[in-house]
Amino acid sequence: MVTNEYLQRVYADLQQRNSNEPEFLQAVDEVFESLQLVVPKHPEWEEAGLMERFTEPERVVMFRVPWVDDSGKVRVNRGYRVQFNSAIGPYKGGLRFHPSVNLSVIKFLGFEQILKNSLTTLPMGGGKGGSDFDPKGKSNAEVMRFCQSFMTELYRHIGQFTDTPAGDIGVGAREVGYLFGQYKKIVNRFDGGVITGKGLTYGGSLARTQATGFGICYFSDEVLHNIAHDSFEGKNVIVSGSGNVAQYCAQKCMELGGKVIAMSDSSGYIVDRNGVNLDVLFDIKQRRRARIKVYADEVPGSEYHDGCKGIWTVPCNIAMPCASQNEMDEEGAKSVIKNGAMAVFEGANMPLTPGAINAVLEAGLLYTPGKASNAGGVATSGLEMSQNSIRMSWSFDEVDAKLHTIMKEIFKSCYAASEECGQPGNMMLGANVAGFLKVADAMMAQGIV
């Protein structure tokens, strides 16, 4: 609970002015709970209206995205770009195409991105964007026309020194390619650094595709080693979702000795006690773009269950939610705890509800917040921009080694901040405080802007 009087006042005001933005308010509340340990040491922050400015986006762009489907019918979606905070660098954050996208979701993601980008040690501010467009079930031509229409408005708000988008849910290599192509055509310039997650033939970075998932495991491995003197070796692991993040989280987890026994998509989940066969899963998801149910049809001994929440009833040692926000509620967390798990490592952004986080912390499980553990994705996007600037490309191993180093550094700074706050090992506290202090310092130095 937030008891600091200044933060309470700022939050009450936010609630009043953003009452229809529950995800955004949830994200701010969680961060304020941590920051109340440092706010009293800085009375100058209140004088400078720091928290009021920190929680108000610098700019919000909302726009119409008209496009024509394959039958010739005109469709209209809504596009968003929230440029939240540029204190430490140009806005950076992905684009999400999913029917659930609205201003609240994009603001929560943009807000989290400020702290995440700060933790990477790279000079990147926070932003996020997207649309309520659903790429699922659309033809390639429809996805292309939508992306072109989306970029026809977005291009005027972005640039390598202003704002550099990337992928997120529903925006993978195909969508990034169409978006970049349209940007290049409009501005008549090959500005590689304007968007990341590009294909390898036109400025993309090796290991960017794997980076978020690999990074989650590198970070979790640090937590296991340094806090619990343990490892992934021999652990049964649930990785929810089966998109970009989940796929490479599962791969690295297996490489580190864990056994991934369950995965999901938004329709249901599969259980394979022999360990999920990732060749089959990658083929279903990457090549065939099919539902996860197909896995159980093709792999003997595996099972499929309808509905995704049931995945948390499968007994495991480590749960890694890598699908979407609020996918594990208190009931799900209690089930994971009851079944004897030792850790919940977030892979997605805000996948645990506040009730689930409390249950996990009270039960004494290891817990890592997504903003720290999934920061490897945006960090490698930063490395992609560096390669674009110097017009060189690094090998897979070079990028992977840099990613590994960055994740270790993020662990160290989160741990140090948690120690300074008197709660060593509280990674949520450490991530929020370490991420915020750098941004706060830069905002104070730059005056009231």
With contacts defined by CB under 6 A, name the span among 142-150, 199-207, 234-242, 251-259 that binds ligand NDP: 234-242
Nearer to ligand NDP, 131 or 242 (CB): 242
Q: Name the residue with the smallest CB distance to ligand NDP.
A: 243
Of 57, 377, 382, 435, the residue at the interface with ligand NDP (CB under 6 A) is 377
Q: Which helix (H) or strand (E) holds 81?
A: strand 74-85
Nearer to ligand NDP, 308 or 356 (CB): 308
* 243 binding ligand NDP? (CB under 6 A): yes
For residue 352, give both structure tokens.
């645990």
Nearer to ligand NDP, 286 or 386 (CB): 286
Binding to ligand NDP in span 25-44, by CB under 6 A: none
* 170 binding ligand NDP? (CB under 6 A): yes
Distance CA 319, CA 315 (A): 9
Nearer to ligand NDP, 308 or 316 (CB): 308
* 2 binding ligand NDP? (CB under 6 A): no
Nearer to ligand NDP, 242 or 387 (CB): 242
* 244 binding ligand NDP? (CB under 6 A): yes
* 440 binding ligand NDP? (CB under 6 A): no
**Rounded to the nearest whole angstrom, what is the least distance from the CB of residue 41 to ligand NDP in the complex?**
31
Distance CA 418, CA 422 (A): 6
Binding to ligand NDP in span 312-341, by CB under 6 A: 322-324, 327
Task: Tell me if residue 128 is catalytic.
Answer: yes
Phi, psi of 24 (to 5 degrees): -65, -45
Of 85, 117, 148, 242, the residue at the interface with ligand NDP (CB under 6 A) is 242
* 374 binding ligand NDP? (CB under 6 A): yes
Distance CA 255, CA 330 (A): 30
Q: Identify which of 409, 386, 412, 408 has the alpha carbon closest to the alpha carbon of residue 399.
A: 386
Phi, psi of 362 (to 5 degrees): -65, -35
Distance CA 197, CA 96 (A): 13
In a 13 Å sphere around the CA of 72, the CA atoms on its Cβ side amount to 0
Q: Identify which of 119, 131, 178, 5 has the alpha carbon closest to the alpha carbon of residue 414.
A: 119
* 245 binding ligand NDP? (CB under 6 A): yes
Distance CA 367, CA 321 (A): 11
* 175 binding ligand NDP? (CB under 6 A): no
With contacts defined by CB under 6 A, name the span among 23-31, 39-47, 165-173, 293-301 that binds ligand NDP: 165-173
**Rounded to the nearest whole angstrom, what is the least distance from the CB of residue 288 to ligand NDP in the complex?**
12
Q: Which residue has the tokens 């149910």?
A: 293
* 382 binding ligand NDP? (CB under 6 A): no
Which entry of 107, 128, 184, 285 is annotated as an active-site residue? Answer: 128
Of 50, 250, 336, 348, the residue at the interface with ligand NDP (CB under 6 A) is 348
Phi, psi of 204 (to 5 degrees): -75, 165
Nearer to ligand NDP, 137 or 447 (CB): 137
Binding to ligand NDP in span 349-368, by CB under 6 A: 349
**Rounded to the nearest whole angstrom, what is the least distance from the CB of residue 348 to ligand NDP in the complex?**
3
**Rounded to the nearest whole angstrom, what is the least distance from the CB of residue 282 to ligand NDP in the complex?**
12
Q: Identify which of 63, 112, 113, 121 has the alpha carbon closest to the alpha carbon of residue 91.
A: 113
Distance CA 326, CA 349 (A): 9
Provide the 10 A C-beta neighbour count for residue 301: 9
345-384 exposure pattern, b = at least 16 Cβ within 10 A, e = fewer = bbbbbbbbbeebbebbeeeebbbbbbbbbbbbbbbbbbbb
* 193 binding ligand NDP? (CB under 6 A): no
**What is the residue type of 383?**
L
C-alpha to C-alpha distances, 357 to 29, 314, 378, nearest whole angstrom: 13, 19, 24
Binding mask 119-158 for ligand NDP (x = CB under 6 A): ----------------------------------------
* 431 binding ligand NDP? (CB under 6 A): no
For residue 162, give both structure tokens.
């202003």
Binding mask 202-221 for ligand NDP (x = CB under 6 A): ----------x---------
Binding mask 257-296 for ligand NDP (x = CB under 6 A): -------xxxx-----------------------------
Q: What does DSSP say about strands 91-97 and 125-131: parallel, antiparallel, or unpaired?
A: parallel
Nearest 5°: the CA angle 408, 412, 415 is 135
Q: What is the CA radius of gyration of the chain?
A: 21
Nearer to ligand NDP, 349 or 418 (CB): 349
Residues near ligand NDP, by CB under 6 A: 167-170, 212, 240-246, 264-267, 308, 322-324, 327, 348-349, 374, 377
Catalytic residue IDs: 128
